[in-house]
């Protein structure tokens, strides 16, 4: 009898919890991305998101403090982003007559980054936010952006003339690779949602 009462109590508790768990799982990728940014205290609203099965996502966002639009990628504990520009958004879309693509060159930021890796001397730090220049060479295969062997940066500056240092942290390289892997999907989501992207640059 006691076992039956315990089982009934557990079953009842499970049934009470289930709707909340289902609601969390039913969140749209855009809602999940915004919830993550809010939980980290980052001042962004999310307009659209492309997520992969691992839970990583790339979002089109707006900084609520400055009004500036950003592309922000979350992978595990890493949050990496860059201000939205035409060149960055169009990465991989246009090649030359031989199918070659110009590298993506831009300034990015690892928000609330962790010190203690070889990448600490890259770029500049503003408190816990780590700004660094990125030089990203890639190929396009079947519409997907495929990276070259490594990602270049520069030490001690955000405005680099020469990209003679390498980004080596696995967390950093994974976030930047995922950023570009999800970019074609984000463009598709933005087009599907009829977001006026040309007005956001």
Which residue do the tokens 């990583």 mark?
56
Q: Does residue 201 sit within a domain?
A: no
Residue 113 lies in a domain: yes
- Exposed, middle or buried: residue 178 (CB in 10 Å: 0-12, 13-18, 19+)? buried
Assess contact for 75 and 174: CB atoms under 8 A.
yes
pLDDT in tens, 108-136: 999 999 999 999 999 999 999 999 999 99
pLDDT tens readout for residues 51-65: 999 999 999 999 999
* Residue 21 maps to a domain: no
Q: What DSSP element (H or E) covers 32?
A: helix 29-39
Is 11 a member of any domain? no
- Whether the predicted pLDDT of 15 surpasses 60: no
Contact yes or no for 176/80 (Cβ under 8 A): yes
Q: Tell how far CA 177 is from the center of its chain.
A: 9
Overall number of domains in the chain: 1
Instruction: Report if residue 4 sits inside a domain.
Output: no
Domain-embedded: residue 79? yes
pLDDT of residue 88: 99
Nearest partner of 28 among 42, 10, 43, 46, judged by Cα: 46
- 122 DSSP 8-state letter: B
What confidence tier does 8 reach under pLDDT thresholds 50, 70, 90? very low
Residue by residue, DSSP assigns 81-101 as: EEE--HHHHTTTT---TTS--
Q: Range of 82's domain?
A: 29-194
Residue 19 within any structural domain of the chain: no
Is the whole model's pTM more than 0.85, yes or no?
A: yes
Is 20 inside a domain boundary?
Answer: no
6 pLDDT more than 80: no
Q: Which residues pair with 38 in a beta bridge?
A: none
């Amino acid at each position: 009898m006691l076992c039956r009462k315990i089982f009934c109590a557990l079953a009842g508790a499970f049934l009470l919890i289930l709707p909340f768990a289902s609601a969390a799982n039913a969140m749209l990728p855009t809602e999940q991305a915004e919830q993550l940014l809010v939980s980290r205290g980052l001042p962004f609203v999310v307009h659209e998101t492309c997520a992969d099965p691992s839970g990583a996502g790339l979002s089109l966002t707006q900084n609520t403090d400055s009004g500036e639009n950003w592309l922000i990628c979350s992978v595990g504990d890493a949050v990496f982003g860059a201000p939205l520009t035409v060149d960055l958004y169009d990465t991989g879309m246009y090649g030359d007559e031989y199918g070659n693509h110009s590298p993506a060159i831009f300034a990015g930021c690892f928000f609330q980054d962790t010190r203690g890796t070889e990448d600490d001397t890259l770029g500049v730090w503003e408190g816990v936010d780590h700004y660094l220049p990125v030089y990203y060479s890639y190929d396009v295969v079947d519409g997907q952006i495929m990276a070259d062997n490594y990602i270049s940066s520069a030490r001690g500056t955000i405005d680099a003339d020469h990209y003679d240092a390498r980004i080596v942290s696995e967390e950093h390289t994974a976030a930047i690779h995922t950023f570009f892997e999800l970019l074609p999907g984000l463009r598709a989501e933005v087009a599907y949602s009829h977001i006026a992207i040309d007005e956001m640059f």
